[in-house]
Each structure stands twice: as C-alpha cells, then as structure tokens.
Amino acid sequence: MRILQVVHGFPPAANGGTEVYARDLALALAKTCTDHVAVLTRHADPHARELSLRAFSTGPVQVFSVNNTFQSCESFEASYSHPAIEELAGDVLDTWKPDVIHIQHLTCLSTGIPRQAVKRGVPVVMTLNDYWLICHRGQLVDRDGQRCNGPGRDGCARCLPPGALAGSTSVRSGRWLRTMPVPGAASAVALMTRAIDAVTPRDRTCAATLARLRHMQSAAADVSLFLAPSDTLAAHFQAFGIPKDRLLRCNQGIALRSFDATARAGSRRLRLGFVGGLLPTKGANVLLDAIERLPPDSVVLDLLGNLGGYHGDTTFAEALTLSSFAKHLPHRCRWLRPISVGWRKWFATRSTGCCFRSEIRVRWPPRFNGCSTSQDSWTDSERASWGRYRSNRMRHGCERSMEGCSELTRLRVRAIKVIPGNGNPQPVAM
C-alpha cells in the first residue's frame, strides 16, 4: 500500500510531538516492506523561494516539503485555506499516487488538501491531535489561560486580534515596513496594528471565527475516518459535527523498545521526568502543585523543555519557573533547558525509573541560550552564519548543515556539555 502522511512539520526542521510521532510512524510503516510511505509537510526557510517544493528522503521515506513562511498569506482566511498550497498538494498526489492519505495536521498547510484527495478518489484518514479544526489557537484555551468550548454561536471575539482581519494592502504594508532597516519600523507596525484593533468592530471578529468554524466543518466532510487519541477529543469533535460512524477512538502508538535495556537503580526518592514545552496546556503546573504537597526530600523532578510562548505569550512559563523553581521547589526540581532530539534520546535511554538521572544537568556555551537562536548580542556576520546553518540543515539535513558556517556557529551546534551538578543550567566557558 502507498501511504501519504500529511503533517505541518517534520524533523529535523521541526521537532514537536506530532512532527516526531509522524516521522516515527512513517518509518515504522516503511519497515514492514509491504508499505511505501511518503510525507507531505511544510518548512519555513526565509532564504528559499516562497511556496517552493523540495523533496528529500529520510531512510525509506520520501518527503515533499512546502516552504511556507506566510509571506504569501494576505488574510486570516489564507492562514488556514491556501489555494496555492492545495495546488502543490495536488501535484504531489498526481506524482506519487498514494492509495490512502493519513493527515496528522493541516495547520501551516491548507484545509483544501482533503478535497484534492477526494477529487482523485483517494480516501483520507485524519488523526485529531488537538482542537485546531475547532479553535484557531488549537487548544481550546483563551487568552487568559482559561479553558473554553470554542466559538459556539457567538464566535471568539477576544481570541482573534482584530489586526488579523486587516486587508491585503495593510498586510503587505506592514510586511514591507518590518523589512526596512530603519529605527522605529517595528514600532510603526505595532502602532498600525493597534489602530486597526481600535476601529475593528467586535462583530467582525466574531463573524470571522464563525466563518472559520463553518469552513472547517465543510472541510471535515472530505475526511473518510477520524482517529481520536482520547475520549475528550472524541466528545468535542462529536459536538463539532463528526458522526460517530466516522470517528474511531484510537490510542497513539509509542515505541518503548529503547527503554528495554535501561538499567534502573534504586532510590529513596521518587524520581519523575517531564518532557515538553512549559505551556499552559501541558500541565506542568498541575505536576508542580502535586509535588509541593508531598513531604520534603521524597521526590525529585527533572523538567526538559523550553519557555516557548503560547501564541507568543511567555507569561505562563516565566511565572511557573520563577515561582516554582526559585521560591518553592529549589531542592526538588531541576529545569533542564531545551536540547536537540539526539540529546533528548540520550537522556531518555539513561533514565532511571521513569525519569532522568538526578545527578545530570546541562550547561551551555557562552552567548548561546539553550538551543534557541537568541541573537541580541551577535554581530552581523554571526547572524548570517547561523542563518546559513539553519538553511543548510533544512535543505540538506545534518550531513551538509555546516557548509560555509563559521567556527563559532560550529561550536554553538555541538557545544552541549553534560556534567555532574545540581541547580539550573548556567553558561560555562568551552
């Protein structure tokens, strides 16, 4: 069988949970030798032509990746329904000729991809990895961090910034201003956005979110079967309008073989590990609250994750780390900052119990904050070298990622040191 997976990102360019799961599933299916697997995905390379398509292979899996940096997106509707991306998807279908399509996510791609498959008589299966079809923020969590039930009959007035409804001329003007090497350009864009927000009626944002909801319900009609990894997801999408006979409760398959040979040592403390971004929807605060209620010195927790903002808002993560680590849990909690997938696997395979080894921490080289590309103190040549590395990695993979890069960039990439110690990671000299 020829299976085409569709997902919004794919390693090494993207390493979120859904992206890594889609890769692992594709590789597992390809190893059966009875299935041929390909992936249609998206990357964001500012140095490549917008909406260009590149092809590469990850082992036996062929990957087709659309370059979408949203430079061609000129409206709120185009952020989820993009005719040009649909056309590219149709070309991939005609070229690769799959027997079935398995969609993991359509954000950053287009909701019209299932229709392209239906036109060619190809059945579509979709895993509901989150609530994106219902909620444009993806998690049914509003801007105040509170749970909600989605647009409903009145729409989502607060969660959609009115500036998102700006016309194409305003969008192009703002994009042009951001590229200008002129002091105050970014402030001008922010001022223009606030002005649009002030004059946009509340009814218009409500109408836009309701129109999106109706569009998603229409797009869902082109999917033959939905897979829900949890009962909660299944219940929400039944309310969304998916009939029971097209909705199957199905757990995600997670490979655990890498843990089989793990040596586990005894400890007088319960050792726990949390892997994931410090986002309000991940539940790290619930775990920390529970640990705080336990007797002192009875548990130790290692968190491996970053302060990535939820739609740009890092308030939750910053409050969590400041309050929990600095005040309440300094001796029971260590924050292991974000690291590459390879090093994440290294930690996992050396874990004891269900956690990381309690004597390990990560330290970073000077002027390199975790694995992010915080470049406030970099020179122009350093920024150019880092951009060249990221572009090479997305285009050619790990093997050619260092071509043309400076020695400082090479150090940033490989200079993760794992050393004994306690407490939060601190920069150390190489």
pLDDT on residue 362: 31
The pair of three-digit structure tokens given for residue 310, joined into one six-digit string = 């939820």
pLDDT digits (tens, 9 = 90+) for 44-98: 998 999 999 999 999 999 999 999 998 888 888 999 999 999 999 999 999 999 9
pLDDT digits (tens, 9 = 90+) for 328-381: 555 677 766 554 444 444 444 444 333 333 333 333 333 333 333 334 444 556
pLDDT on residue 336: 64
Asked if residue 368 is part of any domain, the answer here is yes
Is residue 44 located within the same domain as residue 96?
Answer: yes
Asked if residue 338 is part of any domain, the answer here is yes
Is residue 314 located within the same domain as residue 396?
Answer: yes
**Residue-wise DSSP of 102-154:** EES--TTS-TTHHHHHHHTT--EEEE--SSTTT-TTSSSB-TTS-B---STTT
Cis peptide, bond prior to residue 12, ω within 30 of zero: yes
- Last-in-domain residue among 207, 224, 240: 207
Asked if residue 61 is part of any domain, the answer here is yes
Asked if residue 389 is part of any domain, the answer here is yes
Is residue 34 located within the same domain as residue 172?
Answer: no
Q: Write out residues in the chain with pLDDT < 50, as ranges.
A: 168-185, 188-189, 192, 196, 198-199, 339-378, 398-399, 407-430
Cα(first)–Cα(last) distance of the chain, in Å? 51
Is residue 277 located within the same domain as residue 383?
Answer: yes
Is residue 334 located within the same domain as residue 397?
Answer: yes
How many domains are there within the chain? Answer: 3
Alpha-helical (H) ranges within 247-328 are: 284-292, 315-320
pLDDT on residue 349: 44
Asked if residue 195 is part of any domain, the answer here is yes
Residue-range definition of the domain harbouring residue 179? 162-207
Is residue 265 located within the same domain as residue 396?
Answer: yes
pLDDT on residue 351: 42
pLDDT on residue 190: 52
Asked if residue 388 is part of any domain, the answer here is yes
pLDDT on residue 266: 80
Is residue 287 located within the same domain as residue 172?
Answer: no
Tell me how many helices (H) and strands (E) the chain has: 12, 13
Distance CA 11, CA 33 (A): 22
Is residue 408 located within the same domain as residue 283?
Answer: yes
Is residue 345 located within the same domain as residue 392?
Answer: yes
Is residue 288 located within the same domain as residue 405?
Answer: yes
CA angle (193 as vertex; 192, 194 as ends), nearest 5: 90
